[in-house]
Every structure is written in structure tokens, then in C-alpha cells.
Amino acid sequence: MLAIAIENEVAEYIAHHAHLRDAEGHRLVARNGHLPARTIQTGLGPVAIQQPRVNDKRIDDNGQRIRFSSNILPPYLRRTRSIEELIPWLYLKGISTGDFTEALQALLGPQAKGLSATNIVRLKACWQQEWATWSKRSLKGKHYVYVWADGIHFNIRLEDPGNNKQCILVLMGATVDGKKELIAIADGYRESTQSWRELLLDVKQRGLSVDPKLATGDGALGFWAALREVHPATREQRCWVHKTANVLNKMPKSLQPKAKSMLHDIWMAETRKEADKAFDLFVATFQAKYAKAVECLVKDRDVLLTFYDFPAEHWIHLRTTNPIESTFATVRLRTVRTKGCGSRTACLTMVFKLVRCAERHWRLLNGKHLIAEVINGIMFVDGIREIAA
């Protein structure tokens, strides 16, 4: 399949320039045999590829010969993208740098080459540079109608005792066409207001000037304080997954299944009125004996129900930070298996690479056609568009 794709790419390139001829009527762009075969490491093992050679006689504006470069098989490529993605996932599962060669040979066959521990270290250095470049990219013209924010905590094995806790700040957004994107990822100091302020200001300075309509996050005060400073027009939605966990943590285990079901009745209610009724029932049921659990819930009552003012099709996306949580579930698994990452830089780099790999599989927002109405300020009541009288 790879060979056929490359042949087709070359054929299209030559056909596109078939009309170009020299003074003697010969084509300026023509086939000229094949380049020497080279071996590419793929998910199926090593594959020998012989790429067609293109003789391009055209001269560019600087007097240099124009050369054909395949987009499918760039020069010096030795590994397919699936292998580049396999390496961070193996790292995620607890494979150490020194064990990569053995692990990859078991997956790809004994002929797997070019994947030694030294090359793995080089790849990780490339990922670090990739993150640095990505973190400085322009966001001019970007408009995220919704954003999700969360802080992911890790243990760092090789740092000093006072610096062995790391919080990765993650900001995701939904574009005007309903696509979820990673906006920013940074190494923060806990989930402090200052750390979130720095991240939000950096994003704004790079061109993200339009306030999102809604932000979803947990109850960490640092993010919300920073958001109100940098994007004052953005409304707030507390994550129901985090809130449920926090409330249940203040109750005995014997009551947690019942309490969880009652909390579920609140945020799954079809209307705000029904949600308020279920909310009041929870308070009345547990107030006397479990005041701390009820207080934890009641203090965020208004911002737990903000999603009712947005299209019902979007509720499944807006009520929780699951877009971030589901991605980081396996990242947390690695930190348990390896007792933490080696260094802060290695942790940040690994997280960045894994999230970028996962980003391509994030689902579009349901009802993406309604995003335009949200942007235009159309009012929604209980998820239904309000019709003017």
C-alpha cells in the first residue's frame, strides 16, 4: 500500500507538470528510474521501499534546481508515524529507556533497528523541542466557544524533596466547527492563581482575544480567579465528576451509592426546575448528619447548573472535564507503575506527546451546528432555543 501510494504521488506530480517542455520539446519533469531501496520501520515490522526517482530540470528564482520531495515518504524517514506514537505509549506503560530495544523487537520482530536506547533519548529531546515550538505558536484568529481546564498532578522521582510534586496545567477548547483542540499545556506551581494567570495571559498574548462563552473545570479556586481577570465575560461551569467525588468523600461508604444516585438525578434532570427539586431533596436528606458534604455541594450550586443555559446537545460535553480526564487516566496509570517520572521536563514532555497523539481521536461536539447560535448570543432555556415573542 505504501509503495502504491508513493507511485501515485509521483505520477500525479509528473502529470501536473507534463505541459512544461524545454526548447527541444523534452519534458522538464519526468521519471528517471528508482532511488536505492531503504527500510522503514512500521507497525508491521521492517518494510523495504524503493521510491521512484523524479528528474526535475526546472530552476527556481534563486537559480537552484527544483527537487521533488515526497510528502508520504520524506527524505531520511526511517520510522512511520505509528512507531513514533508507539514509543511514548510504551513509555507510558512503564517501559524504561534501556528496555525499549527489547520491547520493540518483541513487537516488530528481531530485525527492528534504529530504535536503541540512544535513539529513544534523542526522540525525547525532539519532543521537548516540539513542545517548546508548539507552545509559542500563534493563536491569532482562533475562537474557542468552550474551554475545559484541569490540573494533573505527578510525582517526580529525581527532583529535590521540595520540588518532587508537579502540576501540569491543561487547557482544551472547542472551535467554532465543534472540534476539540489542545490549547495549552504548561508546568504550573500547584493550581495557583498565578500559574493559571500566566497560562491564560500567554494564550491571550499569542492571539486568543475572544472570551470563550463557557469554561468547565473543577473547584480549584486558582483557575477561576485567573479566568475572571483575563476573560471576565466567560461563564463558569463546575465539573460534576469532581464535585461528586468531593461530596462522596465526606460521607460514609455505606451511603455513597445512594448519595451518588441522588447527585446523578440532579445533573441528569431534563430541566433546571427538576434539577433544583432534586438538589433540594439531597440537601434535605443529608443536611442533618452530613453537613460538610452538603456544604461542599451547596457552595457551588449556581455554577453547577450553568449548562442549562446552553444547547441540550452540548450538555454531555459541558457538565464535566471528561475530555481531559479520560485522556489522562492512562497517564496517571504510568506514574503509579513507575513511582513517578524522572524529571519535571521528562514528565511535561511525555504528557504533551501523549495528549497530542490522543487529540486526533477526540470526538466532535454533538449539535455542532448550534455553536453559531451560541456565539451570536441566542438564549437557551433548559437546553432549548428561546423563541422571541
Give me the domain span that covers residue 38. 2-56
Dist. CA 358–CA 386, nearest whole Å:
36
Q: Are residue 108 and residue 228 in the same domain, yes or no?
A: no
Spell out the residues 6+ positions from residue 161 whose beta carbon is closer than 8 angstroms to its own. Answer: none
pLDDT at residue 106, rounded to an integer: 56
468547565: which residue's cell? 216
**78-123 residue pLDDT tens:** 555 555 555 665 655 555 656 656 665 555 555 555 555 566 666 6
- Does a structural domain hold residue 63? no
> Is 351 within 8 Å of 248 (Cβ atoms)?
no
pLDDT band at 168 (very low <50, low <70, confident <90, very high): confident
Q: Is 40 exposed, middle or buried (0-12, 13-18, 19+ CB in 10 A)?
A: middle
- Does a structural domain hold residue 387? no
- Percentage, residues of the chain above pLDDT 90: 44
For the segment 58-80, the average pLDDT, to the nearest whole number, is 71
Q: Are residue 36 and residue 117 in the same domain, yes or no?
A: no
Lowest mean pLDDT among 137-146, 274-283, 347-356, 365-374: 347-356
Pairing of strands 29-34, 214-217: unpaired
Q: Are residue 168 and residue 315 in the same domain, yes or no?
A: yes
pLDDT band at 283 (very low <50, low <70, confident <90, very high): very high
Lowest mean pLDDT among 132-146, 149-163, 169-183: 149-163
504533551: which residue's cell? 352
Q: Are residue 154 and residue 29 in the same domain, yes or no?
A: no
pLDDT at residue 183, rounded to an integer: 95
pLDDT at residue 158, rounded to an integer: 47
Nearest to residue 12, comparing CAs of 29, 32, 34, 36? 29
Pairing of strands 144-155, 165-175: antiparallel
- Does a structural domain hold residue 140? no
Distances (CA, A) of 287 to 11, 219, 303: 74, 21, 20
Lowest mean pLDDT among 153-157, 248-252, 315-319, 339-343: 339-343
Dist. CA 123–CA 112, nearest whole Å:
16
Enumerate helices (H) and strands (E) in the chain, giving the number of each.
15, 11
- Does a structural domain hold residue 65? no
The x, y and z cell numbers of residue 146, run together, are 468552550
Q: Are residue 290 and residue 170 in the same domain, yes or no?
A: yes
**358-375 residue pLDDT tens:** 787 788 999 999 999 999
> What's the mean pLDDT when you consider all of the chain?
82
Q: By three-state DSSP, how is residue 262 classified? A: helix
- Does a structural domain hold residue 100? yes
For the segment 378-387, the average pLDDT, to the nearest whole number, is 90
Nearest to residue 115, comparing CAs of 133, 91, 138, 139? 91
- Does a structural domain hold residue 284? yes
Q: Are residue 252 and residue 202 in the same domain, yes or no?
A: yes
Q: Are residue 222 and residue 371 in the same domain, yes or no?
A: yes
pTM above 0.75, yes or no: no
Amino acid identity at 165: K
Length of the chain: 389
Distances (CA, A) of 341 to 184, 197, 252, 337: 21, 26, 34, 10
- Does a structural domain hold residue 282? yes
**223-282 residue pLDDT tens:** 999 999 999 999 999 999 999 999 999 999 999 999 999 999 999 999 999 999 999 999
pLDDT at residue 389, rounded to an integer: 44
Q: Are residue 200 and residue 301 in the same domain, yes or no?
A: yes
pLDDT at residue 137, rounded to an integer: 93
Dist. CA 163–CA 156, nearest whole Å:
8
Dist. CA 147–CA 196, nearest whole Å:
14
Distances (CA, A) of 99 to 112, 117, 275: 14, 8, 53
pLDDT at residue 136, rounded to an integer: 93
Q: Are residue 123 and residue 150 in the same domain, yes or no?
A: no
Dist. CA 130–CA 50, nearest whole Å:
30
Q: Are residue 229 and residue 346 in the same domain, yes or no?
A: yes
> Is 206 within 8 Å of 136 (Cβ atoms)?
yes
> Is 212 within 8 Å of 234 (Cβ atoms)?
yes
For the segment 212-228, the average pLDDT, to the nearest whole number, is 91
Domain limit, last residue, from 107, 134, 161:
134
pLDDT band at 310 (very low <50, low <70, confident <90, very high): very high
The x, y and z cell numbers of residue 207, run together, are 492571539
Q: Are residue 190 and residue 286 in the same domain, yes or no?
A: yes
Q: DSSP label at 33?
A: E
- Percentage, residues of the chain above pLDDT 70: 76
Q: Are residue 44 and residue 175 in the same domain, yes or no?
A: no
Q: DSSP label at 46?
A: E
132 or 4, higher pLDDT: 132
54-71 core/surface letters (b: 16 or more CB in 10 A; e: else): bebeeeeeeeeeeebebe
Dist. CA 168–CA 155, nearest whole Å:
11
Total number of domains constituting the chain? 3
- Does a structural domain hold residue 118? yes
Lowest mean pLDDT among 44-53, 70-79, 182-191: 70-79
155-168 core/surface letters (b: 16 or more CB in 10 A; e: else): ebeebeeeeeebbb
